[in-house]
Amino acid sequence: MQYRTIADTTVSAIGLGAMPLSIEHRPDEQQAIATVHAALDAGVTLIDTADSYHWHADEAGHNELLIARALARYGGDTSGVLVATKGGRGRPGDGSWTVTGSPEHLKRAAEASANRLGVEAIGLYQLHKPDPAVPWAESVGALRDLLDAGTIRAAGISNVTCAQIREAHAILGDGLVSVQNQYSPAVRDSEPELQLSTELGLAFLPWSPLGGISRSSLDGPSGAASAGTAFHRIAAERGVSPQQIALAWLLARSPVVIPVPGASRPASIRDSAQAVQLKLSTVELTQLEAALPS
């Protein structure tokens, strides 16, 4: 495994996106825990979860509890694992997502997440999405309060614009350590946010990083897996999966990028973790760039 940093914390250059282990079409618990353990065996030390990663309305925190059980049952040392969770979204159970960014909700949510994870302080707590009904500064201010109270050790923001990153950085200072936006070969709308994160030294955690390469549970049920792209051609030449090529391409975008591909099977995260061993050539990167949708 190779490593990158989130502020002063060293983590694996590829993380595990744990959402597929708890939402619709999730695997049974035995397979889910085996997937987490496979990630740990592969050297993954960053696990991304959220209190809203669940299926039914009455099981908020399902994914956090699952991750806590998986870590507790692992036979090796997990002291170096950073579990990053999020708050500010909900799932009523009908497949939809809600957004609640009030300070009161975020503080309660963070305390509940810490209890489910069994930790005194959450290593990285991320505001899941801006709430249009709540001033951004108030939501970010709740993260400031959580940092001051010691409920969380570091703060992140997700699904944000450059202006929101700058405002959050002004409020949180060094307490802000990460940005998590959708970013992949198929979806590069957050290129400005990636560049700003690089300038500010913030870790950039692309969610749904394999968009355009294969279907992901994060991408929704529509659309078939893509095939025949430059990623697939270079993968065939290299004798690796297209997913590994996509993750290697992401890692080459900036030293602050730490992809968190989702997985629901041990084989998937083992394959993703191997992407850190790939170093794409200048020619390959040029070919991939030329093939990306404009």
Q: Provide the annotated active-site residues.
A: 53
Distance CA 12, CA 273 (A): 9
b/e string for 209-228 if b means 16 or more Cβ within 10 A? bbbbbbebbbbeeeeeebee
- Residue where the block lists tokens 């084989």: 267
Distance CA 277, CA 269 (A): 14
**The two three-digit tokens of residue 224, written as one number:** 């078939």
By CB neighbour count within 10 A (0-12 exposed, 13-18 middle, 19+ buried), where does 287 fall?
middle
Pick the closest to residue 52 from 78, 25, 87, 27 (CA basis).
87
Beta strands in the chain (DSSP E): 3-6, 9-12, 16-17, 46-48, 82-87, 89-90, 98-99, 124-127, 155-158, 176-180, 203-204
Q: Sort strands 9-12 and 3-6 into parallel, antiparallel or unpaired.
A: antiparallel
Distance CA 30, CA 43 (A): 20
Task: Tell me the torsion sign for CA atoms 84, 98, 207, 128.
Answer: negative
